[in-house]
A = this chain, B = another copy of it.
C-alpha cells in the first residue's frame, strides 16, 4: 500500500506513495477535513482543482447525523457526498472524549450523550469499525482513548492501555473491501509511554500508524516531543500520520521529523473569520490595510481566489457578510496547505528540503491567535 521513495539527507523527511483503490496519494500529504461530509464552504470540484487527493470524514459526527441508515442506502460515504477520491475516517474516539458531555468508559467502549440532543449513544472498537465499514472509507482509524493534555501520568497510562486493548479488538473486526486500517499511538508527552504504545500497536500490524493525543491544546514544544518520542518506533515502510496538525510552519517541521500525513481544520476554520494563510504567516483580510489593495491574497498564488479576486474585494465581501468572501478565503487557505505539501515533495526530490525548511522557519511568523484556534474544540462540527 505504501512505497517509500526517498529519504531526505538533512532530516527525517520522506517522499512516499500511498496506493488505494480510489487513487494514488503522494506523501507528504495534507488532507482537508470534511467532518460532517463536507469540507466547510468548499465543493468537490474546488477541492479536486486545488489538488486534493484525500479528505477526512468523521465517524462520530456522521453516525449522529445523517445517521447510518441513510449512508447505507446511499451506498457509502463517497457516493453520499459525491467524492470519488480516497477518504480517511476518524474513528470517533477523539470526539467522544472531547465533545460528549456525559460518558462512562466501559471495557467494550464508551457510553455517552450526543453533544447535539443528549441521546444516549455507545461507541467502542467494534461499533467504530462497523460504522467505518459501512461508510466504506479507504482508510479507517482504530478507536482510541485520547486523554486531555493535562492528564496525570496515571491517567495517560490508563488511556494508553485502553488504546492498546481497543486497537487489538479493532484489528479483528471486518472491513470494507480494500479498506486499510491505521493504528493510533497515544502517550502524551511521556517518552516511555509513547514507546510502549508504539511498539504494541506496531506489533499488531496495521497498514499505517497515527500519532494521536496531539492537537489537544498542548504547547507546540510538547507536541513536537510527542512526535519525536513516537516516530523512531514506527516502521520505515509504512505511512505515518500526525492527527489534527497543524500550522504551515509546524507541518514543515513535522515532515522533517518523519511524518507523512496531516489533517487540520485551521485552513477552513480561520477562513470563516477572514484570516488567510501566506508563506509569511497569517493576515486578516478585513484589516484596514487591505481596503484599497487590488492585488491577490498572495502574489503568485495560483488558487481560484487569487486568480480571480483582490484583497479589497474579499475584504468588502467579508465586511458586508457575503458568503463568497469566506468561500474564497477557504479556497485560498486550503490550496495553500495542499501546495505547501507539493513544494515539500519537490524539495525532498531535489535534495533541497533542508534549505527550504530553514527559509520557511525564518520567514514564517506564527500567529498566537491562529495557534489557539487549532486547539479549540468545535462542538457540533469540527472543521
Contact = CB atoms under 8 A, between A and B. Distances in A.
A80 B323 contact: no
A222 to B, nearest CB: 33
A267 to B, nearest CB: 14
A74 B323 contact: no
Interface string A226-256: 0000000000000000000000000000000
Copies in the complex: 2
A323 B323 contact: yes
Contacts of A98: none
Interface in A305-332: 308-310, 312-313, 315-317, 319-328
B37 A323 contact: no
Given A73-B294, A291-B70, A327-B323, A313 B82 contact: yes
Contacts of A358: none
B42 A324 contact: yes
Contact of A292 (B41, B69, B292, B381): B69
Nearest to A305: B43
A294 B74 contact: yes
Contact of A308 (B44, B61, B321): B44
A277 to B, nearest CB: 19
A65 interface: yes
Given A322-B36, A323-B40, A381-B321, A65 B316 contact: yes
Nearest to A72: B292
B65 A319 contact: yes
Given A70-B291, A70-B292, A294-B73, A38 B324 contact: yes
Given A70-B292, A73-B292, A73-B294, A65 B320 contact: yes
A69 B40 CA distance: 33
Interface string A6-45: 0000000000000000000000000000001110111110
Contacts of A43: 308, 324, 327-328
A381 B73 contact: no
A331 to B, nearest CB: 9
Contact of A41 (B74, B316, B319, B324): B324
A81 interface: yes
Nearest to A268: B323
A9 B296 CA distance: 53
B309 A82 contact: yes
A313 B65 contact: no
A329 to B, nearest CB: 12
A240 B69 CA distance: 52
Interface in A362-383: 380-381
Contacts of A65: 316, 319-320
Contacts of A51: none
Contacts of A323: 38, 40-41, 323, 326-327
A263 B316 CA distance: 23
Given A43-B324, A65-B316, A69-B292, 8 more contacts: A36-B322, A65-B320, A70-B312, A73-B292, A73-B312, A320-B381, A322-B381, A323-B326
Considering the complex of A and B, which 6 residue pairs feature the smallest CB-CB distances, nearest first?
A: A66-B316, A38-B322, A41-B323, A38-B324, A36-B320, A82-B308
30 contacts: A36-B316, A36-B320, A36-B322, A38-B317, A38-B322, A41-B323, A41-B324, A42-B324, A43-B327, A43-B328, A61-B320, A65-B319, A66-B291, A66-B315, A66-B319, A69-B292, A73-B292, A73-B294, A73-B312, A74-B294, A74-B313, A80-B313, A80-B316, A81-B313, A320-B380, A320-B381, A321-B380, A321-B381, A323-B326, A323-B327
